[in-house]
């Protein structure tokens, strides 16, 4: 459609009498035709209202930088500058130990490595602590994390050391692949301890039996424990 024709249409639409004769206008009016602000443009010129947006996050989230206006950016995992990280709801206990299996094999005896890292089992009745009831604390033989008080140890007659509870947060529980038993491991280093059984009828406060390999433990006598605190 030509420019002259567009101009004529605009002037015709603005004439008060549709039947009247069309008056020709100079081409200089073309600029006002294209540059005149439309109603939409006029409305967009009005400054927008200020809107405040907020972000609501669970309590276990925390900001590491101020979020951009109206947007929340959440990154789960390793902390990076200017993003949000999620704190673990169950952090590992202090002194957690992370080693490659080659490192464990270098610092553990062959039997310790077989049981702690390869989830083996010692023969019943052969363990050092099976019928051992001195006062003190049992630590993980792999990383030294305190696991059990001697006061929680009892004679179950099963052939392995038995405890009815560990230190809070020190023992991790994982169902065996076949779902028949619950494995217990050191929460700090993942070393295999044995299995836990419940509801066997032992006269203990928890009615649980932590069946632990002696080789997975290291006993610290009460006298040495008190000395280490000084």
Which DSSP string corresponds to 157-171? Answer: SSSS-EES--STTTE
Summary mean pLDDT of the chain: 73
Beta strands of 38-187 (E only): which ranges?
Answer: 61-63, 84-86, 136-140, 146-149, 153-154, 162-163, 171-175, 182-186
204 in the same domain as 182: yes
164 in the same domain as 117: yes
72 in the same domain as 152: no
Please write the tens of the pLDDT for every residue from 92-143.
Answer: 554 478 899 999 999 999 999 999 999 999 999 999 999 999 999 999 999 9
114 in the same domain as 13: no
56 in the same domain as 29: no
pLDDT at 146 over 60: yes
Query: Is 46 inside a domain boundary?
Result: no
169 in the same domain as 71: no
Could you give the CA distance from residue 221 to residue 200 in angstroms, rounded to a whole number? Answer: 29
**Residue 131 and residue 155 in contact, taking contact as beta carbons nearer than 8 Å:** yes
Quick one: pLDDT at residue 83?
A: 33
Query: Is 157 inside a domain boundary?
Result: yes
**Residue 142 and residue 104 in contact, taking contact as beta carbons nearer than 8 Å:** yes
Query: Is 215 inside a domain boundary?
Result: yes
Number of domains in the chain: 3
Phi, psi (degrees; rounded to nearest 5) at 227: -65, -40
107 in the same domain as 10: no
pLDDT at 175 over 50: yes
Burial class of 139 by CB neighbour count within 10 A (0 to 12, 13 to 18, 19+): buried
**Residue 176 and residue 182 in contact, taking contact as beta carbons nearer than 8 Å:** yes
Could you give the CA distance from residue 188 to residue 88 in angstroms, rounded to a whole number? Answer: 15
Query: Is 95 inside a domain boundary?
Result: no
Quick one: pLDDT at residue 2?
A: 56
Query: Is 195 inside a domain boundary?
Result: yes
Three-state secondary structure call for residue 146:
strand
Spot the catalytic one: 140, 143, 189, 211.
211
Q: Is-catalytic flag, 186?
A: no
pLDDT at 211 over 80: yes
Give the strand pairing for 192-198 and 182-186.
antiparallel
CATH number of 108's domain = 2.170.150.20
Three-state secondary structure call for residue 9:
helix
Three-state secondary structure call for residue 42:
helix
Please write the tens of the pLDDT for every residue from 41-81.
Answer: 444 444 544 444 333 333 333 333 333 444 433 333 333 33
Quick one: pLDDT at residue 97?
A: 83
Query: Is 44 inside a domain boundary?
Result: no
Three-state secondary structure call for residue 13:
helix
Query: Is 188 inside a domain boundary?
Result: yes
212 in the same domain as 163: yes
111 in the same domain as 68: no
Quick one: pLDDT at residue 224?
A: 72
Tell me the whole-structure pTM to 2 decimals.
Answer: 0.58
**pLDDT mean over 23-49:** 47
149 in the same domain as 78: no
Question: Which range of residues forms the domain containing residue 66?
Answer: 51-89
Q: How many CA atoms lie within 13 A of 56 on its CB side?
A: 0
**pLDDT mean over 31-35:** 46
150 in the same domain as 221: yes
Query: Is 96 inside a domain boundary?
Result: no
111 in the same domain as 21: no
């Amino acid at each position: 459609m030509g420019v002259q024709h567009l101009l004529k249409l605009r002037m015709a639409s603005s004439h008060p009498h549709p039947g009247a004769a069309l008056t020709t206008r100079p081409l200089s009016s073309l600029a006002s035709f294209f540059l005149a602000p439309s109603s939409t443009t006029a409305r967009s010129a009005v400054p927008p209202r200020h809107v405040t947006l907020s972000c609501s996050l669970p309590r276990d989230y925390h900001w590491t930088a101020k979020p951009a206006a109206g947007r929340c950016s959440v990154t789960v995992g390793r902390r990076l500058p200017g993003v949000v990280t999620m704190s673990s709801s169950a952090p590992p206990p202090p002194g957690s130990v992370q080693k490659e299996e080659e490192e464990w094999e270098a610092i553990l005896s062959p039997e310790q490595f077989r049981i702690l890292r390869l989830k083996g089992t010692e023969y019943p009745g052969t363990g050092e602590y099976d019928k051992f009831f001195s006062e003190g604390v049992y630590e993980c033989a792999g990383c030294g994390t305190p696991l059990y008080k001697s006061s929680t140890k009892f004679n179950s007659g099963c052939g392995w050391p038995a405890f009815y509870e560990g230190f809070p947060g020190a023992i991790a529980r994982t169902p065996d692949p076949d779902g028949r038993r619950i494995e217990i491991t050191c929460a700090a280093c993942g070393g295999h301890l044995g299995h836990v059984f419940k509801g066997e009828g032992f006269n203990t406060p928890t009615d649980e039996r932590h069946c632990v390999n002696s080789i997975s433990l290291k006993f610290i006598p009460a006298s040495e424990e008190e000395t280490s605190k000084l």
